[in-house]
Amino acid sequence: MGTRQEVRLRLAHLYADVMNVYGDQGNASALRYRCEARGITLEIASISIGETFDPRDYDLLIVGGGEDREQRRIADDLTKRGGAIRSAIAAGLPALAVCGGFQLFGNSYVGSDGKALPGIGVFRMETIHPGNKTKRSIGNVLLQTEFGEVVGFENHGASTWLDNREERFGTVVVGRGNNGEDGSEGARVANAIGTYLHGSLLPKNPSITDFLLERALSRRFGEGVTLEPLDQHHEESARKEASRITRRRKGLRQHLPGLLRR
């Protein structure tokens, strides 16, 4: 896409002051960086609890992760916005919901205290935290997705179960993903992605960043918009190194029990 004519996009960062564990602000930074490298202005609006928000005014939407305490803080406010967000995403608004935000974009979330929080139903799924004595899903993750190989980091105690009709974001190669049983990770609806992978997701996986940006540009300026390719040597190097380390650690875990028995 040419840069002679000024191009602007608007990003709504929901609850950036509350939902920001494990570097989830990095996703907004990655979107801004890859816009600026192409001469595109990305205006980022941080939308907090109780502030005026109409998703139709924006080209992109992101929300980060938080623990149960933070999810309880935003749940009522998010529920009030739920209908508008669902409608905007159904109409093609690109969105990224991470971990705690991903859970509340589902149908419901039962926290570690056994109390249920309502979700807004963007993704058809249920999430249950079995309690703090249960082993957490934590560590580096490797996925196969339509964007190619994706690397990231998960840290969650709950398990998410997708409706049979719901599309997964990726299939787990290394890690636990949604529940550690069915091989699914995250969810996809239209141009919206939900995932347990935290703030390193977009900086290390530029193909996903560009997917969100391209969809945003196409909605604003018409189908057929393509992004100018960028030199992404550093991003690809980081992704490949993360992949190498993750695969190596998987191999060590597989061989360690045998070594200990010798």
**Contacts of residue 186, Cβ cutoff 8 Å, sequence gap at least 6:** 102, 168, 169, 170, 177, 178, 193, 194, 195, 196, 197
Averaged pLDDT score across all residues of the chain: 92
Q: How far is CA 135 from CA 152, 156, 164, 169, 254, in A?
A: 19, 9, 26, 23, 19
Tell me the average pLDDT across 56-84. 97
Reference 187, options 122, 100, 234, 259; nearest CA is: 122
| Terminal alpha carbon distance of the chain | 60
| 226 — pLDDT class (breaks 50, 70, 90) | confident
Q: Is 101 a member of any domain? A: yes
Q: Is 123 a member of any domain? A: yes
Bridge partners of 126, per DSSP, are 108, 161
Q: Is 193 a member of any domain? A: yes
pLDDT tens profile 142-159: 999 999 999 999 999 999
pLDDT tens profile 231-244: 999 989 988 999 99
Residue from 99, 233, 234, 255 carrying the catalytic annotation: 99
**Is 99 annotated in the active site?**
yes
**Range with lowest mean pLDDT among 4-8, 103-107, 210-214, 255-259:** 255-259
Reference 39, options 65, 63, 67, 4; nearest CA is: 4
Q: Is 221 a member of any domain? A: yes
Q: Is 1 a member of any domain? A: no
pTM, whole model, 2 decimals?
0.93
CATH number at residue 72: 3.40.50.880
Cα(95)–Cα(224) distance, rounded to whole angstroms?
20
Residue from 13, 129, 156, 198 carrying the catalytic annotation: 198
pLDDT tens profile 10-31: 999 999 999 998 889 999 999 9
| 6 — pLDDT class (breaks 50, 70, 90) | confident
Task: Tell me what percent of the residues of the chain surpass a pLDDT of 70.
Answer: 93
Question: If you search the block for the tokens 């990231």, which residue do you land on?
Answer: 152
Cα(122)–Cα(194) distance, rounded to whole angstroms?
9
Reference 3, options 33, 30, 41, 32; nearest CA is: 41
Domains in the chain, number:
1
Q: Is 2 a member of any domain? A: no
pLDDT at 255: 38
Residue 258 pLDDT exceeds 90: no
Tell me the average pLDDT across 24-53. 96
Task: Tell me what percent of the residues of the chain surpass a pLDDT of 90.
Answer: 84
Residue 261 pLDDT exceeds 50: no
**Is 35 annotated in the active site?**
no
Question: If you search the block for the tokens 């935003």, which residue do you land on?
Answer: 74
Q: Is 197 a member of any domain? A: yes
Q: What is the DSSP letter of 167?
A: B
Q: Which range of residues forms the domain containing residue 241?
A: 7-261
Q: Is 233 a member of any domain? A: yes
Q: Helix, strand, coil % (nearest 5) of the chain? A: 35, 25, 40
Residue 254 pLDDT exceeds 60: no
Contact call for residues 105 and 194 (beta carbons, < 8 A)? yes
pLDDT tens profile 101-135: 999 999 999 999 999 999 999 999 999 999 888 88
**Contacts of residue 8, Cβ cutoff 8 Å, sequence gap at least 6:** 40, 41, 42, 43
pLDDT at 147: 96
Contact call for residues 208 and 36 (beta carbons, < 8 A)? no
How many Å is the Cα radius of gyration of the chain?
A: 18
